[in-house]
Structure 1
């Protein structure tokens, strides 16, 4: 059995994969840790896993932005032990080079992990990790791209609050997607494919739409964590007919993401979609007529959100 938990980490991402391995042992993979103000909640999540007599096998940091590594950084700064077996993240030191692949907080996380004796492994395209029946395949970024993106430390790029909630789904379906994500930090996000018992899942951090399309190509997935909190700037019209999936997850609190056009485009490309989120951000997005048709768009809320369906 595989479960995915999407924790309410404010504007950030914090996910947990829990699955039963071939050995019968339960494994836990954390992907990102939310904003720094989520630090206490992140500590509680980690300690509850251990209290249940399970391990945190891996912590994956998708990229350097504070809304993804903040919760872990909070605990490292406060010298709190989280019993994480190993961390997968990108840093220049892991590849034997002096180049900065990071903003300041990424260096701080890496240094603190080494001080605590927690093993750190790179997540570069072409890397594959296997853990008791599950396969984790890194599709992006490649090393060349990382060094090209980070000649010097870079900060966050703020894209602003969504402004398309006044439009209907029908209108947004037919509007062209305007603008693309231009954040180098986001482009350095890890794109990772997870294979488990015949199912394929895709985790994208805040990756750019064109990079996702490049490394995924014509593929079908049972589950996709949408990039950059459901921003339409991280979606592409070229996905239509190429990346096939009907089950999605969005990590957002509704204050700046997701964009309504993201949902509209997914509806246009699929007969029916299921979207999971940890908050009810859609209540301000849908008009009365759209709410009456909610059976076509399956939103669900809660901590425990997705269980692997049986593959026939």
Structure 2
């Protein structure tokens, strides 16, 4: 029996409470298109560096490195990455710096005087004395490409329900689902404070997690939960990656309402009301404030990916996972990049038998790999 080739390979690296993903799409010419999404908190860097250095030295390039938003659990590992020789292998960085944010009032020019180069934003202006424009990010070694796919402008969708497609010759189509211009305006209003918080003390207290038994999933799914109001989360770059008939949504920490509207916009542009995808990386580490029922309805998936060890905020939330199990197509697979007491409950044989889902954890002895999934090609 012939082996079905992989269209999209996704690695959800173990980045503790954060995100660090590696996405690869084989091209017909034998080369690989590769995307890095976030770097997790600072202590993820050694793991990320080791993973990247295992790549073939002749094919170590990263076509796109995405820094989804300014939160320490997403940018912490990107700081040493930017300072390393590996940054020179990146062909385009996607990140919304201060220079990309909309003008929200008088006296707020979008100028390089605000210190908007990516390294200045992420490493601090004292670390980067070079002035940078919106089409490049500056490092001490060389100018690195910044938002080239968007003409040096912001990575956003415009209005709610909008989306932007970037077609890669011989590679995938990458569709921007978040943020909207409105969400970038909110970030512009609080840029300095948000950046200060992201670059401040990264130490977070680890609290003992004592998860309750999973009983009535419908009651959990129906719980009224507050919506995410974090300004940095709302500015997250969320993407749909499609290649050779396979598809994955990378939700970052985006708002569920923004993702829902954008995916519905894509679906309607293609003549439908829903957009079935192979995999969905749940937004905000499986927070019930972001994983809303409408999102799961508009983009039903066969695989749901969760990136967190739950040791600080106790993600994924039970309500979010109950919505997934009850609202997804029959027999979805839940992929956790950590096996913890909180995630193990979802593999309880009685629960699995009752609801028909499956659960995948990192392979024993390979916990450092996190969750690894290959989505097969259909054409």
TM above 0.5, yes or no, is yes
Q: How does 1:153-302 map to 2 (within 5 A)?
A: 153-155=192-194, 165-170=212-217, 172-173=219-220, 175-217=222-264, 218-239=274-295, 241-255=297-311, 256-270=314-328, 271-281=330-340, 283-285=341-343, 290-294=348-352, 296-302=356-362
CA gap of 1:289–1:24, structure 2 versus 1, over 3 A, is: closer
2:39–2:77: 8 Å Cα contact kept in structure 1? yes
CA gap of 1:286–1:72, structure 2 versus 1, over 3 A, is: closer
1:61–1:68: 8 Å Cα contact kept in structure 2? yes
| Deviations, residues 43-100 of structure 1 (Å, cap 9, x unaligned) | 2222222536332121111111111111111333xx3211323211111324782497
1:172–1:265: 8 Å Cα contact kept in structure 2? no
CA gap of 1:146–1:298, structure 2 versus 1, over 3 A, is: same
Residue 253 of structure 1 aligns to a residue whose secondary structure is: coil
Q: Name structure 1 gaps, 5 residues minimum.
A: none
Structure 2 match to 1:309: 376
CA gap of 1:285–1:94, structure 2 versus 1, over 3 A, is: closer
The alignment covers a number of residue pairs equal to 307
Residue 348 of structure 2 aligns to a residue whose secondary structure is: helix
Q: How does 1:40-119 map to 2 (within 5 A)?
A: 40-51=46-57, 53-76=59-82, 79-82=83-86, 83-94=89-100, 97-98=110-111, 107-108=121-122, 113-115=137-139, 116-119=142-145
CA gap of 1:206–1:25, structure 2 versus 1, over 3 A, is: same
CA gap of 1:200–1:73, structure 2 versus 1, over 3 A, is: same
Q: Which of 257-266 and 237-246 deviates more?
A: 237-246
Structure 2 match to 1:130: 167
Partners of 1:262 and 1:106 in 2: CA distance: 36
1:101–1:147: 8 Å Cα contact kept in structure 2? no
**Which entry has the higher C-alpha Rg, 1 or 2?**
2
Residue 128 of structure 1 aligns to a residue whose secondary structure is: strand
Pairwise CA RMSD: 3.1
Residue 233 of structure 1 aligns to a residue whose secondary structure is: coil
1:49–1:56: 8 Å Cα contact kept in structure 2? no
- Alpha-carbon deviation of 1:198? 1.7
Partners of 2:296 and 2:164 in 1: CA distance: 28
Question: Structure 1 residue aligned with 2:39, among 30, 33, 37?
Answer: 33
Q: Which of 31-40 and 212-221 deviates more?
A: 212-221
- Alpha-carbon deviation of 1:174? 5.1
